[in-house]
Amino acid sequence: MIRIGIVGGTGYTGVELLRLLAQHPEADVRAITSRKDAGTPVAQMFPSLRGRYDLAFTDPRDADLAGCNVVFFATPHGVAMAQARELVGAGVRVIDLAADFRLQDPQAFERWYKMPHACPDLLREAVYGIPEINREAIRKARIVGNPGCYPTAVQLGFLPLLEAGLVDAKHLIADCKSGVSGAGRKAELNLLFAEAADNFAAYGVRGHRHHPEIAQGLAAVSKTPLALVFTPHLTPAIRGIFATLYAPIVKPDLDLQALYTKRYAGEPFVDVMPAGALPDTRSVRASNMLRIAVHRPSGSDLAVVLVVEDNLVKGAAGQAIQNMNLMFGLPESTGLEALPVLP
Amino acid sequence: MIRIGIVGGTGYTGVELLRLLAQHPEADVRAITSRKDAGTPVAQMFPSLRGRYDLAFTDPRDADLAGCNVVFFATPHGVAMAQARELVGAGVRVIDLAADFRLQDPQAFERWYKMPHACPDLLREAVYGIPEINREAIRKARIVGNPGCYPTAVQLGFLPLLEAGLVDAKHLIADCKSGVSGAGRKAELNLLFAEAADNFAAYGVRGHRHHPEIAQGLAAVSKTPLALVFTPHLTPAIRGIFATLYAPIVKPDLDLQALYTKRYAGEPFVDVMPAGALPDTRSVRASNMLRIAVHRPSGSDLAVVLVVEDNLVKGAAGQAIQNMNLMFGLPESTGLEALPVLP
Amino acid sequence: MIRIGIVGGTGYTGVELLRLLAQHPEADVRAITSRKDAGTPVAQMFPSLRGRYDLAFTDPRDADLAGCNVVFFATPHGVAMAQARELVGAGVRVIDLAADFRLQDPQAFERWYKMPHACPDLLREAVYGIPEINREAIRKARIVGNPGCYPTAVQLGFLPLLEAGLVDAKHLIADCKSGVSGAGRKAELNLLFAEAADNFAAYGVRGHRHHPEIAQGLAAVSKTPLALVFTPHLTPAIRGIFATLYAPIVKPDLDLQALYTKRYAGEPFVDVMPAGALPDTRSVRASNMLRIAVHRPSGSDLAVVLVVEDNLVKGAAGQAIQNMNLMFGLPESTGLEALPVLP
Amino acid sequence: MIRIGIVGGTGYTGVELLRLLAQHPEADVRAITSRKDAGTPVAQMFPSLRGRYDLAFTDPRDADLAGCNVVFFATPHGVAMAQARELVGAGVRVIDLAADFRLQDPQAFERWYKMPHACPDLLREAVYGIPEINREAIRKARIVGNPGCYPTAVQLGFLPLLEAGLVDAKHLIADCKSGVSGAGRKAELNLLFAEAADNFAAYGVRGHRHHPEIAQGLAAVSKTPLALVFTPHLTPAIRGIFATLYAPIVKPDLDLQALYTKRYAGEPFVDVMPAGALPDTRSVRASNMLRIAVHRPSGSDLAVVLVVEDNLVKGAAGQAIQNMNLMFGLPESTGLEALPVLP
């Protein structure tokens, strides 16, 4: 059994880790911390966990995190980097679901997250946690920077095209739509039901923190310089990301369907749908699957790639567990095989 | 034109007043206050108002409320009673959409709202603002306590039965369901889209502030002592209250349909639907109409009364304007004739 | 492994059986039939099943149902009773998710479902499939009539009170709210998103088929004659039933909390919540758990019982699998342990 | 008063016409037809209209359409062109909310709508009903082809750029999101609440009937050859279209904000929002307003134009009434001034 600690368990990625780990045969959740709610049983805050978790939230200072094999940080940005050195020094592996170990450049981190990076040396060794790109490095990593929800969908969507050098990487567009849980469990006016329901809005058009993360990942595989326009929108759904990606094809006879099918053959959590298919977010709801369909509108030189994922699973907690499985030598799908919930 | 001031305009009842008053031919909104957002144009906070309101929120101290003919309070409880004396003294009429002038008994007010009443003498003269009950008194009132959203639906639903003394008033049940806007524009976790959507919950089962308000109103018309069980629920809709009311009938041959039809004949904003009809909240969405259907399940001695209203219109801002029309001698429906928005 | 056939797999209970059975270690789904969609792979109709089911829908005539150990009927009413005799004769056990084997009285069946019962003798031996009531009988049953979604919630909610004879059974009220999937996967106008969203409606007030089913079950355990008013409503959620139950208490010092806790002690899928708790439907979403909270409003002689379940799981497919587990000697929770999906 | 007939009033555009015309001081709705529902009072089918419309649906053969001044067709495609000649001959003006008079080329009509055009001569004289483009022609038109919902938003969004010749018209992208009412009041599985809620999907990626309509309109104003990729999506909202438009700018120092502000100065129903603004669909809900915000992401040569409209108002019934006002010499905003419903 893997002894597991979770730092900051009162948000949506925290409770989603708990939900998924309850079904994981090798998971032994030993501690879950919350400064503010120390003492509260997790099943009191989240009645969906009643009968399955006896744990209460503990103050971070009282939790024996050093006695864990792995610690997940489901915290605001800045917490994981403050504690990582001590944990890693104690032989604990760290998976950060926030942004502390995503951007390789400490200056970029500081620019976007408005705080200096606390441990640039650890940042250098941290591995960016998309298994479909960095599988081998993740197995050995001491620290994994678990990707953002948008970056997972957008990178896996563009990846085959950029690796193959078949598109004009200077003119990429990612028009993305996210369910409201993507913004976290925060009491903010614009996330209220009465504000977000029966509504559709763009946000972050002038700059979103996931932009540099996506660009970094795509540039790493692109054979040519890259520029991306990223437009996030809020759609009135609880879960789900839908990414509509546009890329100008530079090789007219490109067989998109074959390219994607081959690239993701054997991947347990990337499903390339048949030609002509139109994915929807509910086809991955509450599961770790990401589905892709590729299209090429008639009379156009654009590849149109449609990607769906559950932002809290493949876009956060599920991918974190997929990374944990790799780090501990377990079959990659362990505990992640539940089918999507439909309807 | 009626010179109008609105105190506390950044909540849902405030913006709903602005929406409805824009269509009112006699309304001249002169001031709208917000301590926190003073200086912000209302159309910046609520882009739906762009092009129709040049007003900015002003600090309450800077607003010439005494120069208005009527001031609406769309504030938290406790604000209106602190300012009412000065306004009334200046000849301004006051319509409070909060609870300060709803409960006639200052002790009951203190018990439920956790603050002593600031002006029990004014409370005595204040009129409870349901036109279908207090029409004549409202015309002359200097201060109107505009009813809560649940109380409007529940009182108008039970009213004909209690006035006629045809039910066992000791065993009334009001099982009520409200859209999320009823809780106001407040950044609270349980009102988040990701919490309230695809969900249904009860709340306030142990005691809800609208219970004494409803009981006071019903007791005033009941011929016998009265007891009410009130169970509010939250339904994932933006607007709308649906009240399912149960009352034991004591006169077996009672013609419910005739009773209700007669009681509300001529009322512009109470629609008694035909026998067998099943109302839905969208049939009144964004309008001041309240619809009632009466049923009597076979084999039962219960009257089952179904009531729908828009909590922000007939349950708040619309009824407040209906009261204003009465107070200023205008036709009661002025500015309130827009049809419900369906779908 | 249990060889399983599913008749009529294109509705919500059918796809929910497939979702749940994919996680069941002893389930081997061998056939799934649909006259209309014979030949279509199930994963084409329901992409959420991609990669986990190779089955295609088969014409009922071509499916080897007699070679199965158990056949689930997820069909319209009337289909199961036409095929049950042949299957049972071949040693196949039958679990009907429609109404053919729910009402013990063939005349009642005919009155409510507008068709004569095809096999009154089999109806006599059929067992009504609520394990918390009929556990031992279910183990040995050849035919199980799986309960309706409302009846499961309402019966389990009232059960302890009626068994104990502590309420006035002549005055029961069940005010129930259901998500839209409860109406099935049928192309009907009133189930459209644009009709049902941002709306709340009552229906079936004059008579609903679940009424006689509930009354039959409650009368069987009640010590005194019983009468029930049942008011179903449609709430804009995909899944979930919320039942608010009212019963007049005849024993003033009754300890409701203790009564329920004791009655359901040890039940794997009935969770009696702590005193004062307020359940919500999402706390059971996509799981087989049913949660109950009991209240007693001050100044009232009513017990107010709040019950939540997922209509497609404990209210349909999950309970059917719970019954299958009992019938085949498996631990009752096998394959049903996934936690609710929240948010 | 304008005598008005509506052919095919049982869909969403029909009931929306009724809602809006009830507030129009010059509208006298004389007839509304439905073959299937002849005899049914409109207020029985749509209780939101109770008390305001005494009309019943009449069989088209019995309606005195020739006695009207204007007839709206809120019908499936193909109906208006079959009746237009007779009506026009009788001096009645025709506004078709379906597609019969949108595509100028009869062959294109036949290709996309799978039926030959019944009156190519009338098609030639018909005017495409976007007042912001064709105001003067609409005034004199006998037949107006009222635009589709997507085409209104996309054309008005791209218009200033194309008229000015400042973008590469060969590389336009319109990524559009529509509420479910845009698909009409049709009993189809994919429009069910339980299918469309908590979901997000693309559709029509291989070809959508609004594509040729948009392309025709844009080509007419573009100074250079034009190609457009159009990706429609379904979002779980009742009303609202959100169009995210991408166009490569060919003039680096272009002042987008000034361009749009100038183009739409004085337009009563096009609101160019301030620089940096992010529109949302609820800011136009139930109103005839269309709002536009223009952006230019840093490091990119793309103009990103965000457009919101209510698909049933400015995208259908509201624009039809705007056209009617022009045709009958009324102030263009008559009856269309109600503010958006927020929240």
Q: Mind listing the pLDDT tens digit for each residue in C40-77?
A: 999 999 999 999 999 999 999 999 999 999 999 999 99
- Please report the pLDDT score of residue A167 as a whole number: 96
Element holding C162 (H helix, E strand): helix C149-163
- What pLDDT digit, counting tens, does each position of D307-325 carry? 999 999 999 999 999 999 9
Residue B156 CB-half CA count within 13 A: 34
Tokens 């004062």 belong to residue: C276
Average pLDDT over residues A37-61: 96
CB contacts, 8 Å: D315 with chain A: none
Average pLDDT over residues A203-210: 91
* pLDDT band, residue D108 (cuts 50/70/90): very high
Residues paired with residue D128 on neighbouring β-strands, in sequence order: D145
Amino acid at B228: L
Mutate to test the interface with B, among A193, A241, A310, A311 (most CBs of B within 10 A): A193
Nearest by CB to residue A197, choosing from B187, B188, B193, is: B193
Shortest alpha-carbon distance between residue A101 and chain D (Å): 25
d(CA D303, CA D295): 6
* pLDDT band, residue A179 (cuts 50/70/90): very high
Average pLDDT over residues B47-52: 96
d(CA C7, CA B332): 60
Beta-strand pair A172-178/A241-248? antiparallel
d(CA C247, CA B105): 32
Amino acid at A63: A
Backbone angles phi, psi at D151, to 5 degrees: -55, -35
Nearest-CA residue of chain A relative to D244? A175
- Please report the pLDDT score of residue D299 as a whole number: 86
Which one, of D240, A205, D342, lies nearest residue B50 by Cα?
D342
In the sheet with C201-202, reading across from the earlier edge strand, the strands are C201-202, C228-234, C172-178, C241-248, C302-309, C290-295, C270-272
- What pLDDT digit, counting tens, does each position of D33-57 carry? 999 999 999 999 999 999 999 999 9
Question: Has residue A320 got a pLDDT over 90?
Answer: yes
* pLDDT band, residue B172 (cuts 50/70/90): very high
Nearest-CA residue of chain B relative to A235? B193
Question: Has residue A213 got a pLDDT over 90?
Answer: yes
- What pLDDT digit, counting tens, does each position of B305-324 carry? 999 999 999 999 999 999 99
- Please report the pLDDT score of residue C299 as a whole number: 86
Q: If you average pLDDT over every residue of chain C, what do you get?
A: 97
CB distance B69 to B87 below 8 Å: no
Backbone angles phi, psi at C322, to 5 degrees: -55, -45
Identify the three-state secondary structure at position C222: coil
Query: pTM of the prediction?
Result: 0.97
Q: Across the interface, do D238 and C12 touch by the CB < 8 Å criterion?
A: no
CB contacts, 8 Å: B173 with chain C: 173, 246, 302
- Please report the pLDDT score of residue B206 as a whole number: 86
User: Residue D3: CB partners within 8 Å, gap ≥ 6?
Assistant: D28, D30, D67, D68, D69, D70
d(CA D332, CA D322): 6
CB distance C270 to C156 below 8 Å: yes
Q: If you average pLDDT over every residue of chain B, what do you get?
A: 97
- What pLDDT digit, counting tens, does each position of A120-141 carry? 999 999 999 999 999 999 999 9
d(CA A271, CA D162): 40
Nearest-CA residue of chain B relative to D15? B342
- Please report the pLDDT score of residue D55 as a whole number: 95
Which one, of B23, B22, B51, lies nearest residue D266 by Cα?
B51
Q: Is the bond leading into C331 cis (omega within 30 degrees of zero)? A: no
Over pLDDT 70: what percentage of chain D? 100
Tokens 């006298």 belong to residue: D28
Element holding A176 (H helix, E strand): strand A172-178
> Under an 8 Å CB criterion, which residues of A touch C?
12, 15, 19, 22-23, 46-52, 181, 185, 197-198, 238-239, 271, 273, 277, 279-280, 282-287, 289, 291, 312, 337-343
CB distance A343 to C238 below 8 Å: yes
Q: Across the interface, do D277 and B47 touch by the CB < 8 Å criterion?
A: yes
Average pLDDT over residues B229-257: 96
- Please report the pLDDT score of residue A50 as a whole number: 97
d(CA C140, CA C71): 15
Please report, for residues A102, A267, C29, C315, the alpha-carbon distance to residue C151 in angstroms, rounded to integers and kept in the order given: 51, 43, 28, 8
Identify the three-state secondary structure at position B136: helix
Backbone angles phi, psi at B75, to 5 degrees: -120, 170
Q: Across the interface, do D12 and B181 touch by the CB < 8 Å criterion?
A: no
Average pLDDT over residues B95-105: 97
- Please report the pLDDT score of residue D25 as a whole number: 97
CB contacts, 8 Å: A207 with chain D: 298
Please tell me what DSSP assigns to residue B165: T
Is C149 in the active site?
yes
CB distance C43 to C51 below 8 Å: yes
Please tell me what DSSP assigns to residue A71: E
- What pLDDT digit, counting tens, does each position of C106-160 carry? 999 999 999 999 999 999 999 999 999 999 999 999 999 999 999 999 999 999 9
Which one, of A179, A300, C250, A187, lies nearest residue D200 by Cα?
A179
* pLDDT band, residue C37 (cuts 50/70/90): very high
Backbone angles phi, psi at D193, to 5 degrees: -55, -45
Read off the tokens for A109.
Answer: 């981190």
Question: Has residue D87 got a pLDDT over 90?
Answer: yes
d(CA C316, CA C334): 16
Which of these is catalytic: D68, D119, D149, D176? Answer: D149
The residues of A carrying an active-site annotation are 149
Nearest-CA residue of chain B relative to D270? B51
Over pLDDT 90: what percentage of chain A? 96
Please state the separation of Cα A151 from the chain's center in Å: 7
With b for 16 or more beta-carbon neighbours within 10 A and e for fewer, the D56-88 pattern comes to bbbebeebebeebbbbbbbbebbbbbebbeebb
Q: Across the interface, do B47 and D279 touch by the CB < 8 Å criterion?
A: yes
Average pLDDT over residues D172-182: 98
Amino acid at C28: D
Question: What sign for the dihedral angle of Cα A22, A28, A34, A38?
Answer: positive
Mutate to test the interface with D, among A190, A198, A295 (most CBs of D within 10 A): A198
CB distance B149 to B309 below 8 Å: yes
d(CA B27, CA B103): 29
Which one, of D135, D119, D114, lies nearest residue D87 by Cα?
D119
C-alpha triplet C60, C64, C69: angle, nearest 5°: 115
Identify the three-state secondary structure at position C9: coil
Read off the tokens for A248.
Answer: 């100008």
Read off the tokens for D276.
Answer: 């940096």
Tokens 């908590």 belong to residue: D198
CB distance B285 to B261 below 8 Å: no
Question: Has residue A252 got a pLDDT over 90?
Answer: no
